[in-house]
A = this chain, B = another copy of it.
Amino acid sequence: MKAEIITIGDEILIGQIIDTNSAFISKELNNIGVSVYQITSVQDDKAHILEAFQAAEKNVDIVIITGGLGPTKDDITKTTLAEYFDDTLEYDQAVLENIKYLWKNFVKQPLLQVNIDQSLVLSKATSLMNKSGSAPGMWLEKNNTIFISLPGVPYEMKGLMNDEVLPRISKKFKRPFILHKTLLTYGLGESVIADRIKEWESALPESIKLAYLPNLGRVRLRLSSKGFDKSVVTHEVEDQVATLIPLISDIFVGFEEQSSIEQIIGNQLTKLGKTFAVAESCTGGKIAENITAYSGASSYFKGGLVAYAMDSKTDILKVDPKLIELHSVVSNQVAESMAQNVKKLFNSDYGLATTGNAGPSKGDSEAEIGTVCIAIATPYGVFSEQFNFGKQRLRVVQKAVTMAFTLLQKEIFKKC
């Protein structure tokens, strides 16, 4: 069972947008046992799209196409599909009713001929109803390959995948079980980890594939396997994980599929019945944003202060101006004061604080660009560490956020 994803749109090929659709589709297909053989992005060009269809048809069982279904002239996927299938376009009444319903209740703008024409589908296609937009999906078959056309707007594509595409594929095909298990580690580089676990790795059965995924201080180790007997696949992988963990117990923090570090922190705080708050300078709200991306955060996250201007640190967070003068705004002392005071301000059990210079210019502080101090106030005291995360602004911020979560996590697990 192999699939190819073809994403259509100049905006991808000129780098105007990042293709997030393919990652979503790949993950969902893997979950139901379909491997993705290739992802191909092509321009809004008929000849090139036809070539991509042909190449995909030779290689895979399922082709999922996204994009090019809008109402404007630059959208050519539907007419190109009609040419490929030697077919014509016909109005689909159910789709048209859906468009009229959406326009009346949500769009509240005049229904134009181009909107009505969105209900045109290939006569050989099964229409897939798009509850969130005017472009229907289509399901077509040719020489044992299924072609599925979906809109490129992410939430419309996701709705169609969940409501129509995944259930139909699950029903039509006998599929193997694919398992990925990813161990999150912090603190060592991939080559050192590989060296440490080389005997374990050499003894891995052929059926299990190991991958190292390094990124900004974290290395993820992914074990992948597949087979038609779910319990066999699961046991084989679990057995290997059980022998791996003791080898990396000092750097292992959890499994990615179950939880991100934000969720691990949230679960642990919930278990402890504790809360935290954050005072952010250089991370500018990104710690709060990552935490609140998960629903339920309100039970352990009291809130945050983005103390961006100097006077918000002294006036609201009540950091002593003399402390800033003495040690500079980017210092362990100021970070610790911020952490203690935000804990007090929000009446939380833990207080997290960042202060640093993300660059590109030196700003309020004389600290070298990339310097970040991170402090944690706990029910038992306060501590801080200073780091240098390099010269690229967004990377400095991301590394600071990752490190802040790492320190907080270590702290809340220490007290168990």
Contact = CB atoms under 8 A, between A and B. Distances in A.
Interface string A61-100: 0000000001111100000000000000000000000000
Given A20-B18, A306-B303, A72 B11 contact: no
A259 interface: no
Contacts of A43: 37
What's the interface size class on A, roughly?
35 or more
B15 A25 contact: yes
A170 interface: no
Interface in A28-56: 28-30, 35-44, 48, 52, 55
Contacts of A306: 278, 285, 288, 292, 303-306
A315 B347 CA distance: 10
Contacts of A40: 38-41
Nearest to A305: B305
Nearest to A308: B303
A226 to B, nearest CB: 11
Interface in A1-43: 10-20, 22-30, 35-43
Contact of A194 (B28, B71, B295, B345): B71
A107 interface: yes
Contact of A73 (B70, B72, B109, B210): B210
Interface stretch (A211-219, A231-239, A320-328, A374-382): A211-219
Which 6 residue pairs spanning A and B have beta carbons closest together? Answer: A284-B292, A15-B27, A285-B288, A15-B26, A285-B285, A304-B306
